[in-house]
Amino acid sequence: RHKFWETQPVGQFKDVGDSSLPDGPIEPPTPLSEVKQEPYNLPNLYEWITCDINSDGVCTEVYNLLTDNYVEDDENMFRFNYSKEFLRWALRPPGYFKSWHIGVRVKSSKKLVAFITGAPARIRVRDEIVLMAEVNFLCVHKKLRSKRLAPVMIKEVTRRVHLENIWQAAYTAGVVLPTPMSTCQYWHRSLNPKKLIDVGFSRLGARMTMSRTIKLFKLPDSTATPGFRKMELHDVPAVTRLLRNYLSQFIVAPDFDENDVEHWLLPKEDVVDSFLVESPETHEITDFCSFYTLPSSILGNPNYSTLKVAYSYYNVSTKTPLLQLMNDVLIVAKQKDFDVFNALDVMQNETFVKELKFGPGDGKLHYYLYNYRIKHAVRSSELGLVLL
Ligand code: NHW
Ligand code: EN5
């Protein structure tokens, strides 16, 4: 059934429920001298390239490939439209490897037709901190699908990750592969219900008119929490402490240090937004929330071409109730003209989605680890990890 995945060190469907297998690495590392030194073979018309994502030209080529060929919803109405600045942010975290930004070109025309990336991360699984590659942006041009190019791309990124002496990876996908360590539900909070209905992202509910729907999703003009403000550079140490302490309760979570927090959470216009609550009395940082910006192209609509979408990222509440904190972040997302705010049911997100009028989406997101077994699947609320 899975001719490729059956050959890989991932949990196999036949082993689901087998408690005799231990948690942890499936295969031991091999000596670096035994890692294949040459790239895997591609069909003859194609060649590997390492993408210099700093180059504006290369970044534009990657952007165009993804804009036209990356992930769509099940009815092909929307397609992810990661911005160039977002791609640069996602692909250049502290300690990144340029060799993990892998493209495939047509030899004759030099056209970019496929892409895959890795980015290094320390991820804690229970009480073990594991150095991993976060693999993302796997994309094969629509005209080259179903030719078994994806397995070659995955083997090549694996080889280049191994060359850096890293033996585990984490990735998410909308499709079921052998085998999810966790499965999450997408939730959506309408901010601009009229546009969402016009483009087919959502539907008018039964016995609902447009004006009642608009009223239902109305939000206050300004945030409610005293001391709520944008995160700044000098907040990095306090946010790191708050976040590390919060994430320690989850079974799988990133192990963020101050450099990681500066990279992943310091606001970057049209890429990532972060807010915190500074107590007006003690000036203590008590709460934190964030979202990233990932628009979707609207396919074949005469009136609209893009949907502005915010995705819930990391949120921490210690003093402000999470419900109030998230209502404030919805208000700022609305002020910034987002059409919809998305969240997965990870961490404590189930505690606010219904009350704040999110509705379940038609999409699921499956989380995977490569070469690391977790015997019992993790509940989504036990996941403290958000991948882009
Ligand atoms: S998930 C988004 C993936 N991208 C898209 O969906 C974009 C649109 N689709 C495409 O471009 C986020 C193509 O359909 C792709 C497949 C390229 C998806 N993950 O070439 P063939 C990520 O980027 C398996 C993994 O003929 P294709 C995460 C499939 O099960 N495997 O198909 C990426 C089959 O194998 P099987 C996937 O449609 C994580 C084989 O590919 C997959 O032309 C990557 C068919 O290949 C997916 N999303 O191209 C893994 N989709 O065994 C990283 C299909 O079933 C692992 N397949 O026969 C870790 C590596 C690092 C390790 C380090 C120690
Ligand atoms: C790796 N980092 O299916 C990423 N999105 O629900 C790969 N549905 O937007 C992950 N189909 O339900 C890929 N509207 C997995 C996600 C692929 C994209 C995807 C889903 C997630 C989505 C929307 C639009 C559906 C259009 C038709 C959806 C309903 C919203 C409604 C709002 C009002 C309250 C009720 C719900």
* CA of residue 363 to ligand 2 center, whole Å: 5
> Minimum-distance ligand to the CA of 292?
2
Residues with CB under 6 A from ligand 2: 71, 73-75, 77, 136, 172-174, 186, 188, 190, 201-202, 359, 361-363, 365, 387-388
End-to-end CA distance of the chain: 29
Nearest residue by C-alpha to atom 22 in ligand 1: 136
Residue 267 — very low, low, confident or very high, per pLDDT cuts 50/70/90? very high
CA distance 261 to 240: 6
Q: Nearest bound ligand to CA 8?
A: 1
What is the chain's mean pLDDT, rounded? 98
What does the pLDDT read at residue 95?
98
Which domain, by its residues, includes 262? 183-382
User: Does residue 326 sit within a domain?
Assistant: yes
Please compute the mean of the pLDDT values over residues 313-341 and round it to a whole number: 98
Predicted local confidence at residue 332, as pLDDT = 98
Residues with a CB atom less than 6 Å from ligand 1: 2-5, 69-71, 133, 135-140, 145-151, 154, 157-158, 161, 167-169, 171-173, 175, 177, 370-371
| Ligand index nearest the alpha carbon of residue 357 | 2
Residues 157 and 252 in one domain: no
- Among 130, 151, 171, the domain-final residue is 171
Q: Are residues 360 and 226 in the same domain?
A: yes
Q: Establish if 177 belongs to a structural domain.
A: no
Burial of 1 per CB tally in 10 Å (0-12, 13-18, 19+) = exposed
Active-site residue set: 388
Q: Does 187 fall in a domain?
A: yes
State yes or no: ipTM above 0.95: yes
Q: Are residues 252 and 154 in the same domain?
A: no
In the numeric block, the tokens 């700022």 are attached to 332
Q: Is residue 75 part of a domain?
A: yes
| Residue 388, in any domain of the structure | no
195 and 343 inside one domain: yes
In this structure, the answer to whether residues 113 and 246 fall within a common structural domain is no
pLDDT given at position 201: 98
Please give the average per-residue pLDDT across 132-161, as a whole number. Answer: 98
Q: Does 261 share its domain with 113?
A: no
Domain boundary among 112, 137, 171: 171
Q: Please give the Cα distance from 186 to 346 (Å, whole number).
A: 10
Q: Is residue 118 part of a domain?
A: yes
CATH of the domain at 105: 3.40.630.30
Do residues 139 and 279 share a domain?
no
Mean pLDDT, rounded, for 149-157: 98
Q: Report pLDDT digits (tens) over 340-369.
A: 999 999 999 999 999 999 999 999 999 999
pLDDT tens string 208-226:
999 999 999 999 999 999 9
Decide which of 171, 192, 209 is a domain's last residue.
Answer: 171
Among 69, 186, 301, residue to substitute to test ligand 2 (most atoms within 8 Å of Cβ): 186
Considering the domain architecture, whether residues 54 and 94 belong to the same structural domain is answered as yes
CA of residue 199 to ligand 2 center, whole Å:
13
| Ligand 1, atom nearest to 117 Cα | 23
Proportion of the chain above pLDDT 90, given as a percent: 99
| Statement to judge: residues 326 and 367 lie in one domain | yes
User: For the segment 72-102, what is each residue's pLDDT rounded down to a tens digit?
Assistant: 999 999 999 999 999 999 999 999 999 999 9
Task: For residue 100, report the distance from its CA to the centre of ligand 2, in Å.
Answer: 29
> SS3 letters for the chain?
CCCCHHHCCCCCHHHCCCCCCCCECCCCCCCHHHCCCCCCCCCCCEEEEECCCCCHHHHHHHHHHHHHHCCECCCCCEEECCCHHHHHHHHCCCCCCHHHEEEEEECCCCCEEEEEEEEEEEEEECCEEEEEEEEEEEEECHHHCCCCHHHHHHHHHHHHHHCCCCCEEEEEECCCCCCCCEEEEEEEEECCHHHHHHCCCCCCCCCCCHHHHHHHCCCCCCCCCCCEEECCHHHHHHHHHHHHHHHCCCCEEECCCHHHHHHHHCCECCCEEEEEEECCCCCCEEEEEEEEECCEEECCCCCCCEECEEEECCCEECCCCHHHHHHHHHHHHHHCCCCEEEEECCCCHHHCCCCCCCEEEEEEEEEEEECCECCCCCCHHHECCCCC
Q: Point out which residues pair with 288 in neighbouring strands.
A: 276, 316
Residue 303: inside a domain, yes or no? Answer: yes
Please indicate, yes or no, whether residues 151 and 211 belong to a single structural domain of this protein. no
- Write the CA distances from 254 to 64, 116, 244, integer angstroms: 30, 21, 9
Domain check: are 302 and 333 in the same one? yes
CATH of the domain at 214: 3.40.630.170
Give the number of other CB atoms < 10 A from CB of residue 288: 25
Rounded CA gap, 110 and 102, in Å? Answer: 14
pLDDT of residue 10: 98
Same-domain check for residues 159 and 238:
no
- Our mutation pick for probing the ligand 1 site, out of 104, 138, 387, counting the most ligand atoms within 8 A of Cβ, is 138
The answer to whether residue 290 is domain-embedded is yes
| pLDDT tens by residue, 276-308 | 999 999 999 999 999 999 999 999 999 999 999
For ligand 1, atom 62, the nearest C-alpha belongs to 158
Q: How many domains does the chain have?
A: 2
Residue nearest to atom 30 of ligand 2 (CA): 202
